[in-house]
Amino acid sequence: MEAKNNDKPTENTNDTTTTDTITLGAGCFWCVEAIFDQLKGVEKVISGYAGGNIKNPSYKEVCTGRTGHAEVCQVIYNPEIITTEELLEVFWQTHDPTTLNKQGGDVGTQYRSAIFYHNDTQKQIAEAYKQQLDSSDTFSNPIVTEITAFTNFYPAEDYHQDYFELNGEQPYCSAIIKPKVEKFKKNFKDKIKP
């Protein structure tokens, strides 16, 4: 039986001014979490679902592609240590933002490239960064990343949290996530937690 989450979505309710939150979709949330969890200034990464049209979806429901949700990670970070721009630099460089509803072998709307911004500053930064990348021909195809206002977030089931850390020897982790993490570490070694 598929585990269900509680009925309340998680909202951007940080009580301090030292953290901010952004929600990012870049394919399988296991890959996204494995990368962003290692960044200096990132305090917490939670795998889950955003952008859909039903409350409290299960993984099984999201995988059908019929709920409208994307697999995402909610990234809680200290902007005094890592900026939104730096997070987006990692985001753009660790997945293919030019493929619609697809990352590698993962296909479906739940694997779309998406930025769910939590405030107008994040929106402006994301849109300007996307425009700059498109103008510079950094990618051979246009960027299709969805940039949308955050409305709600449903944490994924417990077995999805810290998946790579806890299941690094599983075939998907070894074949897909580990090479992405190694490339990330090579390209962003100055931004990795000690």
DSSP code for 156: P
Residue 191 has pLDDT above 60, yes or no: yes
H helix runs in 29-188, sequence order: 29-36, 59-63, 84-93, 120-135, 163-167, 171-172, 178-187
- In sequence order, what are the beta bridge partners of 26? 113
- Given 28, 31, 73, 173, which residue is catalytic? 28
CA angle 51, 111, 74 (to 5 degrees): 55
Which band of pLDDT confidence, cut at 50, 70 and 90, is reported for residue 6? very low
Q: Kindly list the domain boundaries of the chain, sorted by start residue.
A: 20-191
Q: Which CATH class for the 20-191 domain?
A: alpha beta
Q: What is the pLDDT of residues 107-122, one digit of tens each?
A: 999 999 999 999 999 9
What is each CA distance from 156 to 51, 66, 69, 189, in whole angstroms? 14, 17, 12, 29
| Catalytic residue check, 28 | yes
